Amino acid sequence: MTKVALLVVGAGPAGWSAVSGYRAAGGGGPVLLAGEDAHPPYRRPPLSKDYLRGESGRDELALQPTTWYVREQVRMETRARVLALDAEARTADVDGVGSVAFDRCVITTGAAPARPAAIPGAEDSRALTLRTIENADALRAAGGRLVVVGSGFIGCEAAASMAMRGTEVTLVTDEAVPHAGRLGREVGERISGWLSETGVTVLTGREVGAVEPPAVRLADGARVTGDAVLLALGVEARVELAEAAGLDTEDGRLICDESGRTSADGIWAAGDLARLFNPTAGRRLTVEHWGEALTQGEVAGRSAAGQQSAWDSVPGFWSTIGRRTIKYAAWGDGHDDVRLRGDDAAWSAWFVRDGACVGVLSHNRDGDYELGRELVARGERIP
């Protein structure tokens, strides 16, 4: 049996940051970072942007050089899926490593692209998804015509990037405009305009009846045919390991306090998988952002090392659609009004709930983004 002071399950940004935070807070002893991926932690955001467009290479994706793990005395194991976790005995069964006994553990198993059972054919493995380097490589090789299903950030970014590569892209969404549900109609219309600008054909208000790669059949019977189909229908948290270990979950996420501590002693969690309590917001939040995975991972790692640490910042997110960048800071769990300010070249959308600012999204107005973040944290009115 291998004995470690800290076991981190999942080697994405939250996992890397947990290890880094643990060491930075003086956490000692052997550390094992076990990830099922074939690669040490790497950046996912470029996979729908510059990497997908062929403007950056694999060698630019690694989060840290291999020398970092040596220097920090972290045993990084790739292709090492954690098969089972015993929260009481504090042991784990790790593929390729064997039985591991741990003093403390941080779970950062992240999320995987959704393949909703309600859509016939969504589970067909010929329908592509986008989460890993291998997924991005498959998409790049997918041929001259692509059908994208879904108009969230990944769907919009990937559609624009593929169109910029010269691919004929059709994006199908059941929303009235992309992002209407999350960001409101006016913001959605601007994003839709950017997609059209890059050459993407946007089919809005169209429900998908079935996925039949390389085509999709719409609910009204029409068929949209390409050389490949990309499903971009959101993600599902990978809670299966934690759930099997008996840890408490809520709406498919692992419940944590502000330090990332789960319902089991000695076990913390962070990132897409987790729903941490945010003391500034006064409630638990689900967040699927790169920066938050890093922040929460560090908090969980420091906490596991015995240092008091809390996730109390307003979640922030950047997205690039074609050549346009938006910055978004928000609690992300609902608004009752959106106010748009500015012109096509530079604008901000302010999100309001019960009179208080709960979010800001800006394009070429960085001052608004910074101010908005403060207003959200303080629960104040928009300017």
Ligand X SMILES: Cc1cc2nc3c(=O)[nH]c(=O)nc-3n(C[C@H](O)[C@H](O)[C@H](O)COP(=O)(O)OP(=O)(O)OC[C@H]3O[C@@H](n4cnc5c(N)ncnc54)[C@H](O)[C@@H]3O)c2cc1C
Q: Which residues bind ligand X (CB under 6 A)?
A: 9-15, 34-37, 44-45, 47-48, 81-82, 108-111, 130-131, 154, 238, 241, 271-273, 288-291, 293, 317-319
Q: Which of 232, 249, 326, 336 is nearest to 286 (CA)?
A: 249
Decide whether 21 or 35 has the Cβ nearer to ligand X: 35
Residue 271 has, within 13 A of its CA and on its CB side, a CA count of 31
| Backbone phi and psi for residue 237, each to the nearest 5 degrees, phi listed first | -65, 145
Residue 98, beta-bridge partner list? 94
Kindly give, in sequence order, each residue whose CB lies less than 8 Å from that of residue 33, ignoring residues fewer than 6 positions away: 8, 11, 15, 16, 19, 69, 74, 75, 76, 77
The DSSP string of 82-106 is: EEEEETTTTEEEETTTEEEEEEEEE
Decide whether 288 or 298 has the Cβ nearer to ligand X: 288
Q: Which residue has the tokens 């991972």?
A: 297
Shortest Cβ 355–ligand X spacing (Å): 28
Decide whether 202 or 326 has the Cβ nearer to ligand X: 326
Shortest Cβ 155–ligand X spacing (Å): 10
The count of other CB atoms within 10 Å of the CB of residue 240 is 10
Shortest Cβ 239–ligand X spacing (Å): 10
Helix ranges (H only) for the chain are 13-24, 50-53, 66-71, 133-140, 153-164, 180-183, 185-197, 240-244, 290-304, 366-378
Decide whether 44 or 275 has the Cβ nearer to ligand X: 44
Cβ(64)–Cβ(40) below 8 Å: yes
Total H helices, total E strands in the chain: 10, 25
Decide whether 206 or 238 has the Cβ nearer to ligand X: 238
Shortest Cβ 81–ligand X spacing (Å): 4
Decide whether 100 or 208 has the Cβ nearer to ligand X: 100
148 vs 21: CA distance, rounded Å? 38
Shortest Cβ 236–ligand X spacing (Å): 11
Shortest Cβ 108–ligand X spacing (Å): 5
What is the sign of the dihedral through the CA atoms of 206, 196, 370 and 22?
Answer: positive
Shortest Cβ 190–ligand X spacing (Å): 18
Shortest Cβ 376–ligand X spacing (Å): 16
Decide whether 34 or 146 has the Cβ nearer to ligand X: 34
Decide whether 206 or 261 has the Cβ nearer to ligand X: 261
357 vs 292: CA distance, rounded Å? 20
